[in-house]
Amino acid sequence: MKKKMVALLTSVVMATSMLVGCGAAEEAPAPAPAEELAAEAEAEEVADEAAEEAVAEIGADTQAIIDRGVLKVGVKNAVVGFGFQDTLTEEYSGLEISIAEKIAEKLGVDIEFTAVTAATRTELLDSGDIDCVLATFTITDERKESWDFSTPYFTDHVTVLVETASGITDLAALKDKTVGVSSGSTSAKSLTQAMIDAGVIEGADFDPETFDAATWTEGISYKQYDDYPAISTALSAGEVDAFCVDKSILAIYNTDERNYIDDEFAPQDYGVATKKGSDFSAYVETCVTDWLADGTIAGFISENGLD
């Protein structure tokens, strides 16, 4: 029944846009007023019923957010173009902020942002302090076992930032160096895999399932930090030789005295994370796929200079 109505509504919309799109509206003979009114009434009825169906489809988890009147979202606060908070105005901006605001608008609720890190975002989601995470959160098979992820809304790559004076310009020059990474991130595993793929290290003991940045010492070692400013400080202090994470995150730490190495690797698909099995996951997935299809997300990407 619902499918039929959606199909009917879709064909009404398609027919309308085809007429407008091809300019045929001007050529088509004007329908008699009575027919026109009947068609309008029918379209309205279909639209009303479809709207009722959509509301009826909202599950208990999503309804709880609507009843609360606030969508609580975990975002980054220092990733320019994705999740960035102006320290003076306290306003958030970026692709992830715009997507989150649009979800809240569709739900008809206010929005509350919580700044998260790679280390805190999942705890906050698990505890229910936040309803979803839009925080440069890479979709991985391992993570999908614990949280639901939407279709990706953006793909970035991992790279490495160094002090220019170090003379490090590629993966080969990172051999036997110490690299700063964030705890809870994909960075160390991605870099180790990239060094193996480039033939810089052999990696006989590398197992992506069990890899642990804390114990890996073959050809490269890692120091883990709770947040990115701490890694940047460690790089300046010479505590680490390099800083590895997604390029989008590194941008703000790329000062005049620093440069990226030549290599970019390990595509990072960012998705909206929600509690596993929550009906809100399905709601978010519909939002993301609709907004990928209709160009809304592409618009946010270009507004934020990410294309």
Binding residues for ligand GLU (CB under 6 A):
118, 136-138, 182, 185-187, 245-246, 249, 268
Tell me the two tokens of residue 187.
């960075």
- Output the smallest distance, CB 198 to ligand GLU, in A: 20
- Output the smallest distance, CB 268 to ligand GLU, in A: 5
For ligand GLU, which is the closer residue by CB, 187 or 193? 187
For ligand GLU, which is the closer residue by CB, 109 or 139? 139
- Output the smallest distance, CB 12 to ligand GLU, in A: 42
Asked whether the beta carbons of 248 and 82 are under 8 A apart, the reply is yes
- Output the smallest distance, CB 118 to ligand GLU, in A: 4
For ligand GLU, which is the closer residue by CB, 72 or 121? 121
- For strand 70-75 and strand 132-134, is the pairing parallel, antiparallel, or unpaired? parallel
Give 159's strand partners: 245
CA distances 196 to 63, 183, 207, Å, are 48, 21, 12
Tell me the two tokens of residue 278.
């929550």
For ligand GLU, which is the closer residue by CB, 9 or 234? 234
Tell me the two tokens of residue 227.
């947040």
Give 92's strand partners: 85
CA distances 73 to 41, 133, 238, 263, Å, are 40, 6, 35, 33
Helix (H, G, I), strand (E, B) or coil at 64: helix
- Output the smallest distance, CB 228 to ligand GLU, in A: 7
For ligand GLU, which is the closer residue by CB, 106 or 143? 143
